[in-house]
Amino acid sequence: MFKALVIESTGGTVSTSIQNLDDVRLPAGNVTIAVEYSTVNYKDGLVVTGAGGLVKQYPHVPGVDFAGTVIQSGDPTYKPGDKVILTGWRVGEVRWGGLSQKAAANAEWLVPLPSGLTTRQAMAIGTAGFTAMLAVIALEAHGLTPKSGEVLVTGAAGGVGSVATAILAKRGYQVVASTGRPETHEYLKRLGATTIIDRSGFADPAKRPLEGERWAACVDSVGGNTLARVLAQTKYGGSAAAVGLAGGSKLDHTVIPFLLRGVNLLGIDSVMCPMPRRVEAWHRLQSDLPLDLLEVMTIEARLDEVPRLAAEILQGQLRGRVVVDVNR
């Protein structure tokens, strides 16, 4: 038996409970993992509250990521006792996920836990932090260096934003953090932001296709008008990494910044990300993310606190990252 957060749906209304489940209910997968930690990401917020329509079959166990120890493996890549991480592959959406004491997965979805990280640290990073690292790698692959100028992070006090801020600062960039929450200013400075700006400056639709050039690059968690304004303000040859849609999924813009300023719009996907890039990103996280700052941005929660936290993340009320100890 194992304990899990279970979502059920009755007449279109979802409810959650902590249940003891039999091992036979684990989904198909050639590796069984004793989960130690999972997290609450924005997508978990959608799944747990039923807001996104992402789950097609109930009852469902959420949790788009987890880290733990292999109990049993039918694949030679892993043996009992190995520490592993899983993010993405639509686990926690179309398959049962990691907000559970046990999970089953296919070996090719797992990443060995990097030697410099604990399972708790890996999930404090979680999908959000892993995605922030993918964004920084993509920006640098498109020519960004600390000499390029200011790098904007939008939704800076959220999970992706906090990790992106800390990584960029550690790598020597001038980080401009955009947030709607004045109470997070000191926190963002501690993570390494050199300048803090209010997100309201990006809220209105772009009036012109080009505005004054300011940003060498951007890690954008917000989308919508924010991303449109960022593109209009990106310097010649600069790049914006589109990570999220916390402020909206519609992008109303012209192609002018691409044509006249050679601006790059880089799509960042963590879910189906190929394995070599995953391994590279986890490797880079060990050197590029200061672990003391990871602790500063992380709170720990129990499984029964997840429904409340899921609602709060959708309201933009959570700061940084939440790591869930599924055995507490």
Q: Note the residues at the interface with ligand NAP (CB under 6 A).
A: 41-43, 127-128, 131, 155-161, 179-181, 199, 221-222, 243-247, 268-271, 313, 316, 318
Distances (CA, A) of 262 to 69, 160, 234, 248, 268: 46, 26, 10, 25, 19
Structure tokens at 302: 């129990």
Shortest distance, position 104 Cβ to ligand NAP, whole Å: 23
Among residues 62 and 244, whose Cβ is nearest to ligand NAP? Answer: 244
Q: How far is the CB of 201 from ligand NAP (least distance, A)?
A: 11
Least distance between ligand NAP and beta carbon 80 (Å): 30
Nearer to ligand NAP, 114 or 180 (CB): 180
For 186, residues 6+ apart whose C-beta sits below 8 A from its C-beta are: none
Distance CA 194, CA 129 (A): 20
Please give the structure tokens belonging to residue 237.
């040859």
Q: Which amino acid is at 9?
A: S
Please identify which residue in the block is written with the tokens 């933009």.
Answer: 316
Give min distance, CB of 314 to ligand NAP, in A. 7
Q: Is 208 in contact with 230 (CB distance < 8 Å)?
A: no
Asked if residue 274 has a cis previous peptide bond (ω within 30° of 0), the answer is: no
Helices and strands, counts by H and E, the chain:
9, 15
Instruction: Report the candidate in 157, 167, 175 with the shortest Cα–Cα distance to residue 246.
Output: 157
Among left, alpha and beta (phi > 0; psi -120 to 50; other), residue 101 is alpha
Q: Which is nearer to ligand NAP, 21 or 88 (CB)?
A: 88
Phi, psi of 40 (to 5 degrees): -120, 105
**32 vs 131, beta carbon nearer ligand NAP:** 131
Give the integer Cα–Cα distance in Å for 155 and 199.
8
Least distance (Å) between residue 206 CB and ligand NAP: 15
Shortest Cβ 21–ligand NAP spacing (Å) = 27
C-beta closer to ligand NAP: residue 101 or 233 = 233
CA distances from 289 to 15, 53, 113, 167, 188 (A): 37, 33, 16, 5, 14
Q: Minimum distance from CB of 10 to ligand NAP (Å)?
A: 27
Closer of 181 and 214 to ligand NAP (Cβ): 181
Cβ-closest position to ligand NAP: 158
Give the nearer residue to ligand NAP in terms of CB position, either 218 or 243. Answer: 243
